[in-house]
Amino acid sequence: MPGRPIAATDLLEQFRQAFADVTLSPTEARRLRDRLAAFTQHGGDVGRLRQAVFNLAKERFNTFKDKAVVEWLEAASVLLPTPSAALPVAEQTQVYFSPGEECVTAIQQFIAAAHRTLDVCVFTVADDRLTSALLAAHHRGVRVRLLTDNDKLFDRGSDVRQLHGAGMAVRTDCTENHMHHKFAVADHRLVLTGSYNWTRSAARYNLENLLITPELAVVTRFAAEFARLWDTLAEFKG
């Protein structure tokens, strides 16, 4: 995050520049998302900023039809929950258990709360709900990287090929042994780990555990291990 508070006028200028050519590239979107997060963290008035952005849109798109669409979006956006209300991020260590839905819900929220990077190192991905969450993160511009075990690629229900086909970076262990980790690092500020496999059976039947923590020492070690494995394991070719 930037060292000084982000001013609403600075953010408004970025939106104005984006409106100038009616495009918002992935790089611009990522930069805006980071600056908006810093703005919110420092107590910025998001509601007032939203109003100013819609005013910009009304100035830029000034036909009767354009204004009607912008006004409809403005009214609809007020009804939507804010990210902080919809996606709680762990400010302290949280623990979850299965069977039941609390582990899969916690993983979904963890993925949805990632702003810039999401490094996932898991034995397998075979729960469509978590696959959908990963795809959503990828499509909104988060850099998602997946490390997984090569033997599990052939399991019925494995979604690794689907994730790779969507453009996600994937690497696999290609030894006779297993890459048996189950952890993820979001934005180098949160770690998710535990015995919980990313499968439907883990939620329905298994006695599993999951831990999410912002503890810096833990985040640093897991991030370093992911980086080491990423440099070691082979790129998945599909």
Q: Which residues are catalytic?
A: 180, 182, 187
Long-range Cβ pairs for the range 82-85 (8 Å, 24+)? 82/46, 83/113, 84/40
HEC string for 122-154? ECCEECHHHHHHHHHHHHCCCEEEEEEECHHHH
The pair of three-digit structure tokens given for residue 44, joined into one six-digit string: 């910025």
Cβ contacts of residue 78 below 8 Å, gap of 6+? none
- Give residue for tokens 């000034």: 62
Q: CA-based angle 140:166:15, to the nearest 5?
A: 20
Residue 234's DSSP bridge partners are 172
CB 160 within 8 A of CB 182: no
The pair of three-digit structure tokens given for residue 103, joined into one six-digit string: 């582990």
Cβ contacts of residue 69 below 8 Å, gap of 6+? 61
Whole-angstrom distance, CA of residue 221 vs CA of residue 227: 10
